[in-house]
Amino acid sequence: MNQQKKQQQQNWKQLLNFEFDREKKASLQVRALRWLAAFLILMILLTLLSRAADSVTIAKVTTTGVSGGSLTHEIQAEGTVSANREVSVEVASGLKIASVEAAAGTSVEEGDVLLCLDTADLGEKLETAQEELAVLKAQALDKEANAAIAGASAQKTLTRAREDYDTAVSSANQSVADAKEDMEEAWSAYNTFKNSGSSAGDTDTTVLDSLVKTVEEKQEAYDTAVTELENLNSEIEYKINQKISEQGAATDEEKKSIRNSVESEHSAKLAAAESKVSTAGSDLEEADAALSAYQTESAANSQSDYDEQLQALYDEYISKKDAYNEALSSREDTIRSAKRALEDASETTETVDKASELTEASAMEEKQEEVDALQKLVDLGGEVTSPSDGLVVSVPVSAGETTAEETSIRIADQSAGYRFSTSLDKSTAKYLSTGDEIALDIGNDTTVSGLTIDSIEASAEDSSTYNLTVFIPAKVTGPGSFATMSIEKTTKKYDCCVPLNALHSDGNDYFVYVLTESDTVLGTQTTVEQAQVEILDKNSDSAAIEGGVGWGQEIVLTSTKSLRAGDRVRVEE
């Protein structure tokens, strides 16, 4: 313990007696200055290195300002050229071609020879056609004579049918009159015997008299209805004959027309009269049935001679009445059959085979036209000539061949001019209007200016396609089958127009990079931001836009690297 205390005291004495080493103090200051200088040199080197790295990695861009202006659209389209009007020179079929004088694409004048036909063959064809025409004319004369004979025969048949009709009507009316007379006589005999009083005192005839009176009333009503129907038929027939006489109708058709007209006028009355007869007949049959039933019952209860004889007379009356009704029905059937026979005979007289007549007349007319055409060719020495000035479009035959059916030489009529036609998509057609001036390259290093668009319309098959036509006047000569249209169209003035390569897209929307400047600890820095825009119109090098940019703003035109929003850039002049 004492030894330890002694050691501690010694240590404190050394600490109190400590003094700084002046040489050592100077050495530390030099070393600190050296470290500071090295640090500053390192910072300068790092700064220079950072700026060098920044100059290598930062994008260099060129810019352009946003300004107003118009866009120019240069439109070109290829199309076909065709004649406004073509003349067709028809050549009869079956003719032999001696020579072809004008090929397709040849310009011809009116009267120029197009074809030369074989004259010997042409003469044979003419002779054959003339013989065939003579045969057709002879057949027409024979048919006319036969038609006259058939007409006379049909007229005779009609006359006989009319006589048969009149006879049938008269006979049927007489049969009805006789049956009616027999029925009335039977009814009178029945009433006479009934009113004679024989054995009548022993029988109560009140019910029988009532039934008989009802039958009499129904019979009278029926007779009245039949008489009215007969009178109406007679009145109709009288009016028909009167109108025929007044109008002086001579033909069967005129008489038939008058008959139909009068019958139509009285159809309602005739139907009402026939209905009245039918109703009265039904009522009479019911009354007769009631009387018959009563008499049958009376006959069972009484076997007297009076009743039997009275019943016999009544049965005779019923039989005569049935015969009368049958005569009425038979008269209707007879008149109907005779009338139909008369109508059939009338139609037979008036029937004409119009189809056959028209066919034969057409065949004769065609054959006459063929003869006239062949005769004209013979007179011209077999030469087929052009009817007007123009360009031969097609000649479908060659020398030594025979003309086929509907052989025709097509000639474009130069005096009517030509027509240029092309198709445009909707996005292009929207810039064009009727009346716009265009230039047309028609081939052979020839361009025609000052032409105007005649029409531009949506296609009926595809609404996204428009058909455009341009009229080419007759003064433009030698156009080919194809031509190229060109036109420049300037749009309206837009507020913001930019070069097309300044536009970018993310797949859905369009945008441009706009320059922005901001102050930082390192100084003023230039960055880019995305501005969404909408394209109003564009051509091959510029676009009209609206949206997140305004007139006078600077936008990025080119960049040495791909950009993203917020990237720092360096603007190069």
Quick: pLDDT tens for 87-105: 888 887 788 888 888 877 7
Mean pLDDT calculated for residue range 540-560: 85
Bridge partners for 80 per DSSP: 421, 482
CA dist 26 and 3 (Å) reads 39
pLDDT confidence of 478, banded at 50, 70, 90?
Answer: low
CA dist 442 and 478 (Å) reads 8
pLDDT digits (tens, 9 = 90+) for 299-332: 555 545 677 787 887 888 888 888 888 888 787 8
pLDDT of residue 3: 55
pLDDT above 90 as % of the chain:
6
Encoding tokens for residue 447?
């361009």
Angle between helix 119-195 and helix 305-350 axes, rounded to 10 deg: 170
Dihedral sign (CA 353, 359, 365, 368):
negative
In the numeric block, the tokens 């070069």 are attached to 499
Do the bridges between strand 67-69 and strand 107-108 make them parallel or antiparallel, or are there none, so unpaired? unpaired
pLDDT digits (tens, 9 = 90+) for 230-270: 888 888 887 888 887 777 766 778 778 888 888 888 888 88
pLDDT of residue 190: 81
Residue 402 carries which DSSP code?
B
pLDDT of residue 4: 53
Give SS3 for 31.
helix
* Predicted confidence (pLDDT) at residue 153 exceeds the cutoff of 80: no
* Predicted confidence (pLDDT) at residue 353 exceeds the cutoff of 60: no
pLDDT confidence of 33, banded at 50, 70, 90?
Answer: confident
CA 549 to chain centre: 52
Mean pLDDT calculated for residue range 553-560: 87
Beta-carbon contacts of residue 54 (< 8 Å; ≥ 6 apart): none
359: closest CA among 140, 127, 130? 140
pLDDT of residue 20: 45
CA 331 to each of CA 162, 324, 417, 422, 447: distance values in angstroms, whole numbers, following the listed order: 17, 10, 81, 82, 95
pLDDT digits (tens, 9 = 90+) for 512-532: 999 888 776 566 788 889 989
pLDDT of residue 467: 93
Judge contact between 569 and 61, C-beta under 8 A.
yes
CA dist 457 and 276 (Å) reads 73
* Predicted confidence (pLDDT) at residue 68 exceeds the cutoff of 80: yes
Buried b (16+ CB within 10 A) or exposed e, 406-441: ebbbbbbbbebbbbbebebeeeebebbeeebebebb
Bridge partners for 73 per DSSP: 489
pLDDT of residue 485: 92
pLDDT of residue 358: 65
Mean pLDDT calculated for residue range 139-145: 73
CA dist 555 and 552 (Å) reads 9
Q: Which of 51-65, 351-365, 419-433, 449-463 has the lowest mean pLDDT?
A: 351-365
pLDDT of residue 468: 93
Mean pLDDT calculated for residue range 354-377: 76
* Mean pLDDT over the full length of the chain: 79
CA dist 433 and 75 (Å) reads 13
Judge contact between 108 and 392, C-beta under 8 A.
yes
Q: Which of 7-16, 316-325, 534-543 has the lowest mean pLDDT?
A: 7-16
* Predicted confidence (pLDDT) at residue 187 exceeds the cutoff of 90: no
CA dist 518 and 343 (Å) reads 113
117: closest CA among 100, 103, 98, 102? 98
Strand-by-strand arrangement of the 407-413 sheet: 86-91, 407-413, 390-394, 107-108
pLDDT of residue 199: 45
pLDDT confidence of 52, banded at 50, 70, 90?
Answer: low
Mean pLDDT calculated for residue range 289-295: 78
Judge contact between 523 and 570, C-beta under 8 A.
no
pLDDT above 70 as % of the chain:
83
Buried b (16+ CB within 10 A) or exposed e, 340-373: ebbeebbeebeeeeeeeeeeeeeebeebeebbee
In the numeric block, the tokens 């007869």 are attached to 277
Name the residue type at position 113: V
pLDDT of residue 469: 93
Number of H-type helices and E-type strands within the chain: 9, 22
Query: What's the length of the chain?
Result: 573
* Predicted confidence (pLDDT) at residue 202 exceeds the cutoff of 50: no
pLDDT of residue 18: 46
Mean pLDDT calculated for residue range 484-492: 90
pLDDT of residue 201: 42
399: closest CA among 39, 118, 110, 175? 118
pLDDT of residue 470: 92
* Predicted confidence (pLDDT) at residue 422 exceeds the cutoff of 90: yes
pTM for the full model? Answer: 0.43
pLDDT confidence of 1, banded at 50, 70, 90?
Answer: very low
